[in-house]
Amino acid sequence: MRWLMRLLKQLLLLLMLCALLAGAAVYYYAYDDLHLPQSPVTFELRAGSSLRVTATQLAAVGIIGRPEPFELLARLLGESARLKAGNYEFSGSMTPLDLLQRMTRGDVTLIAITFVEGWTFEQMRKALRENPKINGELAALSEPEVLQKLGISAPAAEGWFFPDTYHFSDGASDLSILRRAHKLMRKHLEQEWARRAPNLPLQSPTEALILASIVEKETGLANERGMVAAVFINRLRIGMRLQTDPTVIYGMGAAFDGNIRKRDLLTDTPYNTYTRTGLPPTPIAMPGLDALRATLNPAPSDALYFVARGDGTSKFSRTLAEHERAVTQYQRRGRR
């Protein structure tokens, strides 16, 4: 029996030695530098891919060597079922353990889409539709159906999405991006409404959003938004028509050819602020944060008029007589 005990001890020692060697090999592999085929290199892990398939694909594009060691490493660490789908970008010095950790954390390369201040809802839809990385769900939906899907209780979608850059993973739905943009607009609108100046002639955040969209379209100069907002606020206070071209253009829709004619100013639509008093029924574009802030905290001014100087700035006037002189100077006779 002694020989049997000696044999068992030898076998146990051999197994321990093999385990130590295997552990050392795994440790060495885990911390050995990978030799990427190029830097950066991109890799797409499709949803539902198994660990074995993923390791095989990583080896096929040259990110790792043989797939078996990577698969073994993931199984030993209990990460075999935690790989997250998405687009990855790998560069620089990296080990197999780094690679595994990034793919289990889901450090995917995000794609961006930007909604520009002053865009209309239709321009947003076009940008979403033309982005090949976005899963389109909007195409088959009417505007009321989009509002219903997003839970927006407004008569129109116009203006209810915040212009910003949104990052997303490949395959994100257009509705999910719109949902984020709407949530951000709600947040900013509520915050700015809570900080509004006293005694504004605006009855609700919706009215503030409508006026902010007009301010956004009237000027691209940050230092003039407060004055432009003041003109419109002053006009609303005294019941004077806003008489702003961007609302007329919006009401014309596809009929607008780049020019506003006298007949366009006389043709009544819900958005013609030359023929109707007060605010139009909906926003006319997406206002940015500066336009929201200017609208709810306008510059201290009693101006009622403004006219473009021709250099991107505007001349503001308190009276009609002052305004007519400014129009003569900057538009009828040209700038002196």
User: Does 335 score more than 50 pLDDT?
Assistant: no
Strand-pair category, 305-308 with 165-168: unpaired
CA distance 68 to 70: 5
The residue type at 309: R
For the CA atoms of 80, 85, 90, 59, the dihedral, rounded to the nearest 10 degrees, stands at: 60
CA distance 55 to 70: 6
Q: Environment class of residue 47 by beta-carbon count within 10 Å: exposed (0-12), middle (13-18) or buried (19+)?
A: exposed
> Per residue in 190-200, pLDDT tens?
999 999 999 99
Of 85-89, 161-165, 183-187, 316-320, the range with the lowest mean pLDDT is 85-89
> Per residue in 108-146, pLDDT tens?
877 889 999 999 999 999 999 999 989 988 888 999 999
Q: Considering only residues 305 and 42, tell me which one the structure prediction assigns the higher pLDDT.
A: 305
Cα–Cα separations (whole angstroms), residue 319 to 206, 234, 240, 303? 30, 12, 13, 7
For the whole prediction, is pTM greater than 0.85?
Answer: no
Structure tokens at 76: 């030993």
Collapsing DSSP to helix, strand or coil, 150 comes out as helix
CA distance 221 to 310: 13
Structural domains for the chain: 32-108 (3.30.1490.480), 111-190 (no CATH), 198-332 (no CATH)
CA distance 272 to 286: 19
Q: Considering only residues 29 and 270, tell me which one the structure prediction assigns the higher pLDDT.
A: 270
Q: Length of the chain in residues, anyone?
A: 336
Collapsing DSSP to helix, strand or coil, 234 comes out as helix
